[in-house]
Amino acid sequence: MSVNSTHKDALFKLQHAGISNTSRRLAVLSILLKAKKPLNVSTIRRLLEGKCNIDKVTVYRTLSLFRKRGIIREIATTSGANYFEIASQENSLHPHFSCRNCGEITCLDPLSFTHAAKLIFSKHDYSIDHIEINISGLCTCCRNSSKKSFYKQEE
C-alpha cells in the first residue's frame, strides 16, 4: 500500500468514526495502518520520530480515543506494555503469538476456533509455552447494577 493510499485510508477512518483529522491523529493512524503486526507505544513513538512532533500523552490519548471508537484493538501482554492493531473487517479477530525471547508479537491466521485448536496443538513452527483466551466486557453483576463504572469509565 502506498504512502498516499495509507493517508487516504486514515482520513477515511477518522471521518467515518466522527473524529476530526488532526496531523497527530493521522500520523498515529498511518503508522498502525502500515504496520504488519501490533505495536506498543514506544515503537509507535520511535516510528513517528522526524515525521511528526508528538508528546507521549497525545499518543496515549489518541490511542485511547481510537480504541473507544472501535478503530483499533488493544492487546494485553504480561510485559507491562500494551499493543495496538487496526480493527477492521479485513483485519478480523485473530490469535497473537508473542515470543518469550524477543518479545515480538505476530498475528496468527484468523481461522475458526476448531481449525485454530488443531493448528495450535500440532504446534507448527512455534514452540508454544502458553495459550491464553481473554474475553472482556460487562459481567452479569455490573450489567444489572444501576451504579456505574467505579473501575474504568467508558463513554
Partner DNA sequence: TAATTATTGCAACTCGGTTGCATTTTTGAT
Partner DNA sequence: ATCAAAAATGCAACCGAGTTGCAATAATTA
Residues in contact with DNA by CB under 7 A are 19-25, 40-42, 53-58, 60-62, 64, 78, 80-82
Are 75 and 85 within 8 A, CB to CB? yes
18 interacts with its own copies by CB under 8 A:
no
Nearer to its own copies, 13 or 73 (CB): 73
> Which of 6-14, 27-35, 50-58, 68-76 is the region at the interface with its own copies (rule: CB under 8 A)?
68-76
Are 49 and 43 within 8 A, CB to CB? no
Query: C-alpha grid cell for residue 107?
Result: 498475528
Q: Which does 22 bind (CB under 5 to 8 A by kind): its own copies, DNA, none?
A: DNA
Of 31, 35, 37, the residue nearest 99 (C-alpha): 37
Query: C-alpha grid cell for residue 113?
Result: 476456533
Nearer to DNA, 48 or 119 (CB): 48
Give the Cα separation of 50 and 39 in Å (integer): 18
| Minimum distance of its own copies from residue 52's CB (angstroms) | 25
60 interacts with its own copies by CB under 8 A:
no
Are 36 and 27 within 8 A, CB to CB? no
- Chain centroid, CA 107 distance in Å: 11
Are 52 and 104 within 8 A, CB to CB? no
| Minimum distance of its own copies from residue 36's CB (angstroms) | 14
Which amino acid is present at 28? V
Q: Which does 126 bind (CB under 5 to 8 A by kind): DNA, its own copies, none?
A: its own copies
Q: Where along the sequence are the contacts to its own copies (CB under 8 A)?
A: 73-80, 82, 93-104, 106, 108, 112-114, 116-117, 120, 125-143, 148-152, 154
